[in-house]
Structure 1
Amino acid sequence: MPLFGNKFSPKKTPLRKSSVSLKSNHLDELVDDEKRIKLNLSDQKLIFVNGEWRPSSGKNSSIYKLNEKLKKRNEELEEENNLLKLKFEVLLNMMTQITAEHQLQDEVIQGLKETNFRE
């Protein structure tokens, strides 16, 4: 036993009693049919889905749904833009290759004409 006591061991905190009882009738109010947590705040209803609260009714519900549609449309447009950039690069490479081949062909023809003209 230490002479002055152990200063580094904290006292144990007493257990707290829950102020909310989750009886079966209260559980129906907190969980919907798909086993998602729901919350009612005055005129708004929120549902906890995939780690975030989503409004299911009220004035923010329509704004949230519109934002989700806009996000999805934005992602689609970004994918389309990336595809178009890729197609543009491929076409540009094809045009460069055709131009180089055409110039090489012109140089070969010009060289043949010069050798035939000298003879």
Structure 2
Amino acid sequence: MPLNLFGNKFSPKKTPPRRAQSLSNLHLDSTQSQAEFGLDCNNVKVNLGGNEVTFENGHWIQESAGGGAGHHEVIRLQKHNQQLQEENNFLKLKLDILLDMLAETSAISHFHENELKQLRLKKR
């Protein structure tokens, strides 16, 4: 009785060694490799249903929408909106301070008027 019951049926066959690939592309300079392999992929633009988007800095940016504002225009408007909101908050704060100052001066004025009335009554 043989020790190996299954024989060589279940042992995998050895794969033949791979052929060495050409290393000629390693000797190209950058301009030749860009021309050869098309490595210039800075601006990727896609047009989907009339909307053109560009891939910049890892984000898809909408360039133009059918009659709408582009991405750069939206960013500019958002910054302007943020500035206006900050200015509005600053003006509200100034208004609150001025109202507090007005209330304080009017309270002081009423106090002086009452004090003056009391002094006039004592004088008579």
> Is TM more than 0.5 here?
yes
- Scaled by the length of structure 1, the TM-score of the pair is 0.58
Matches within 5 A, 1:2-81: 24=34, 25-28=37-40, 30-31=41-42, 38-42=43-47, 44=52, 46-49=54-57, 52-55=59-62, 59-60=64-65, 62-81=69-88
- Asked if 1:112 corresponds to 2:119, the answer is yes
Structure 2 gap ranges (5+): 1-32
Larger radius of gyration: 2
Shift in alpha-carbon separation, 1:115–1:73, aligned structure 2, 3 A: same
Amino acid at match of 1:68: I
Measured in 1, the distance between the counterparts of 2:99 and 2:39 equals: 63
Identity, % of aligned positions = 25
Number of matched residues? 85
Shift in alpha-carbon separation, 1:116–1:64, aligned structure 2, 3 A: same
